[in-house]
Amino acid sequence: YKTNPAGETAIGKHIAVIGGGNTSVDAATAAVRLGAETVTILYRRSESEMPAFKHEYEHAKADGVIYKWLANPVEFLGDTDVDAVKCVRMELGEPDESGRRQPIEVPGSEFTIPADMVFLALGQVADEAFINSIPGVGISHGRIIADPKNGKTSNPRIFAGGDVVHGAMEVVNAVQAGKLAAVEIAEFLSNGEN
């Protein structure tokens, strides 16, 4: 299918996608369908630690996406444009406070893959400095504590939802949290609370 029916989409011959989530899988699959010769996902952890949905990963594999597990990009190579990605092999160490095993660089394990186009599809996190600056709001593990039913926080004038409460999730979850909070905010304002 065409994702840009109004015109052609420029795509490289050899695509590298950095990341292991659903966004990386979507980018890789789109690159294949747009005509890239090779598409490689580079992920610094193993297959079992990959956060992408299993069915998304399987579809991408079926489309011909290549996975390089325990591979961490360290440099883009090329004179004026990128023509390769230099990587280093990783191994998994001990779990950190989140429970995830941390990748550790394997000395002397550098390798390169050809790439004339690179997509960065890395995780997102909320701005902790901003979150910490909000007065009177409870915070746990860098996230705002809010009632999932209505977005209420410990500060009665502040409501929260989406990634700042739950961490990275799909946008539909943030939209739903916003709708629930909007109902509560409307009630808050109609009661003359300000």
- The three-class DSSP label of residue 38 is strand
The reported pLDDT for the residue numbered 192 is 73
Q: Quick one: 76 and 163 in the same domain?
A: no
Asked if residue 131 has pLDDT above 90, the reply is: no
State residue 77's pLDDT score: 95
pTM of the model: 0.68
Q: Could you count the other beta carbons within 10 Å of the beta carbon of residue 153?
A: 20
156 and 138, same structural domain?
A: yes
- Picking from 102, 184, 188, the residue whose alpha carbon sits closest to that of residue 151 is 184
What's 21's DSSP letter?
Answer: S
The answer to whether residue 3 scores a pLDDT higher than 60 is: no
Q: How far apart are CA 108 and CA 146, in angstroms?
A: 47
Note whether 43 and 85 are same-domain residues: yes
Same domain assignment for residues 43 and 132: no
Q: In this structure, are 138 and 83 located in the same domain?
A: no
23 and 69 belong to one structural domain: yes
Virtual CA dihedral for 97, 107, 50, 166, nearest 10 degrees?
30
Of the listed ranges 32-41, 123-132, 139-148, the least confidently predicted one is 123-132
Please report whether residue 136 resides in a domain: yes
- DSSP, residue by residue, 68-99: ETTEEEEEEE-SSS--EEEEEEEEEEEE-TTS
Pure H helices in the chain: 22-33, 54-62, 128-133, 163-166, 171-190
Q: Report how many domains make up the chain.
A: 2
* pLDDT at position 193: 59
Which of 120, 144, 167 is where one domain is finished?
120
User: Helix, strand, coil proportions of the chain in percent (round to 5)?
Assistant: 30, 30, 45
Residue 67 in any domain: the answer is yes
pLDDT at 2 over 50: no
118 pLDDT higher than 50: yes
Please, which pLDDT band fits residue 194 given cuts at 50, 70 and 90? Answer: low
The token duo for 94 is 């001990």
Tell me which residue range forms the domain holding 93.
14-120
Q: Dump pLDDT digits (tens) for 28-82.
A: 999 999 999 999 999 999 999 898 999 999 999 999 999 999 999 999 999 989 9
Q: Give domain status of residue 159, yes or no.
A: yes
Is residue 185 one of the residues assigned to a domain?
A: yes
User: Does the residue 2 lie in any domain?
Assistant: no
Q: Is the pLDDT of residue 4 over 80?
A: no
Same domain (yes/no): 114, 18: yes
Q: Are residues 116 and 21 in the same domain?
A: yes
116 plus 159 within the same structural domain: no
Question: Tokens 């890789």 — which residue?
Answer: 28
